[in-house]
């Protein structure tokens, strides 16, 4: 029996074994003109397999590149596009650089720590107080998402002190925020629907 597991592995399995056999047959055609016509017919069949991609830019170009890949870059024909080089498809991508930013409190995020560092260098005044109010408001929301019982002014003031390295002392007046307990005790609004209109 001839099983797929004993056959030649498919380079691009999405095209199926019949397309690969057609490419292998095209490589055996001696006449260059006939070989080119055969390649054009193969590309046409390949395009019919993915009709939803016809409107994608460079769709034809990708089909011819795939034809070259399936032929192991050995198909000697007149390509309508620049002949692709095998090294462009076998080279490994560059390693993705990872940042080494060490966050003290991950639930606040990196931007909060950067903005606190910016607030440390600002001059005293309304602009600095406004920034502190915005920071504390965002920090409060982050704490409420994680643990509602500890989203207090004292917790936020202490975290700002730690994140600023002790350089930013914040008072409850600078936070300018309502009491957290008001937000915690405020349950979801209930929707009232009027039923049986006109009845007592």
Sketch the domain layout of the chain as residue ranges.
11-90, 110-184
Separation CA 165–CA 162 (nearest Å): 5
pTM for this prediction:
0.48
In the prediction, which pLDDT does 43 show?
93
Predicted confidence (pLDDT) per residue in 47-90, tens digit: 998 888 877 878 889 999 999 999 988 888 888 888 888 877 77
Separation CA 160–CA 116 (nearest Å): 7
Residues of the chain with confidence (pLDDT) below 50: 177-197, 200
Rg (C-alpha) for the chain, rounded Å, is 33
In the prediction, which pLDDT does 187 show?
45
Q: Where are the alpha helices (DSSP H) in the chain?
A: 16-28, 32-49, 59-70, 87-90, 110-121, 126-146, 153-163, 172-175, 180-185
């Amino acid at each position: 029996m001839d099983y797929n597991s004993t056959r030649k592995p498919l380079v691009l399995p999405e095209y199926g074994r019949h397309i690969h056999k057609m490419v292998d047959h095209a490589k055996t055609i001696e006449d260059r003109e006939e070989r080119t016509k055969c390649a054009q017919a193969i590309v046409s069949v390949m395009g019919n397999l993915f009709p939803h991609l016809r409107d994608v830019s460079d769709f034809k170009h990708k089909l011819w590149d795939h034809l070259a890949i399936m032929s192991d870059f050995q198909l000697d024909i007149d390509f309508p596009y620049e002949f692709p080089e095998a090294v462009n498809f076998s080279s490994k991508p560059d390693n993705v650089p990872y940042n080494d930013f060490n966050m003290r409190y991950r639930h606040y995020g990196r931007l909060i720590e950067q903005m606190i560092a910016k607030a440390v260098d600002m001059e005293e005044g309304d602009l600095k107080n406004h920034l502190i109010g915005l920071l504390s408001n965002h920090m409060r929301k982050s704490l409420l998402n994680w643990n509602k019982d500890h989203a207090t002014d004292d917790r936020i003031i202490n975290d700002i002190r730690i994140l600023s390295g002790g350089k930013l002392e914040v008072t409850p007046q600078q936070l300018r925020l309502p009491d957290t307990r008001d937000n915690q005790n405020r349950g979801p609004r209930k929707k009232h629907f009027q039923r049986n209109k006109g009845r007592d």
